[in-house]
Chains A and B, each alone.
Chain A
Amino acid sequence: AQTIHQWPVAEIKAVGSPLSLGCTIKGKSSPNLYWYWQATGGTLQQLFYSITVGQVESVVQLNLSASRPKDDQFILSTEKLLLSHSGFYLCAWDWGETLYFGSGTRLTVL
């Protein structure tokens, strides 16, 4: 069975500080991977997707970047956090047409 692990579970960071969030998927080779962002009470906004190692497509950047250093790993990062980066970050993968979400990282920027 496929499992997706996101880290960290939660972060409290200062404005202007760097950020790195990650997810790892096990049990599926060459998955399509996604990053979504959700403001509190808001909808799910796709940020990036990747269909293979080293290849990342941006949908909405929000002053963030993403990388896929390994087949099973997807990283979201920024060098300088903004207040507007606060929210819930969800890594996801798809099986055929169906999208499955990881447990998410709650980010608070102060």
Chain B
Amino acid sequence: GEQVEQLPSILRVQEGSSASINCSYEDSASNYFPWYKQEPGENPKLIIDIRSNMERKQIQELIVLLDKKAKRFSLHITDTQPGDSAMYFCAASAPGYQNFYFGKGTSLTVIP
């Protein structure tokens, strides 16, 4: 099956700075790349996603970039706030497959 690598596993940033999380995938058939935020004790919640027909998507302070040629995608959180502290997971899926492959997660801490 698909393999999704996510780095870094731990990320600490100062409040107001940017945070970047990078993911790579192997299966060129993957065409949908969601990002989830999970707070302690909670379920993962979709925060932003990108499809293979796009290279960039932004929702407020969240920016997702997709490089299909390199099979890489990334999440950038601009102007981080303490409320952004959480686990973040990237994922990849391919059409016709009922499988979503998740990265190992990034623990983000925003230091006030």
Contacts and interface: CB of A to CB of B under 8 A. Distances in A.
Q: Is the interface of A mostly helix, strand, loop or mixed?
A: strand
B44 A97 contact: no
Main secondary structure, interface of B, reads strand
Interface string A30-62: 001010000000111110010100000101000
B23 to A, nearest CB: 12
Nearest to B104: A43
Interface residues of B, number: 22
Interface stretch (A65-73, A78-86, A101-109): A101-109
Interface string A87-100: 00010001001111
B99 A43 contact: no
Given A43-B103, A43-B105, A44-B89, A100 B46 contact: yes
Contacts of A32: 98
Given A46-B100, A57-B98, A59-B99, A98 B43 contact: no
Given A90-B43, A90-B44, A104-B43, A98 B34 contact: yes
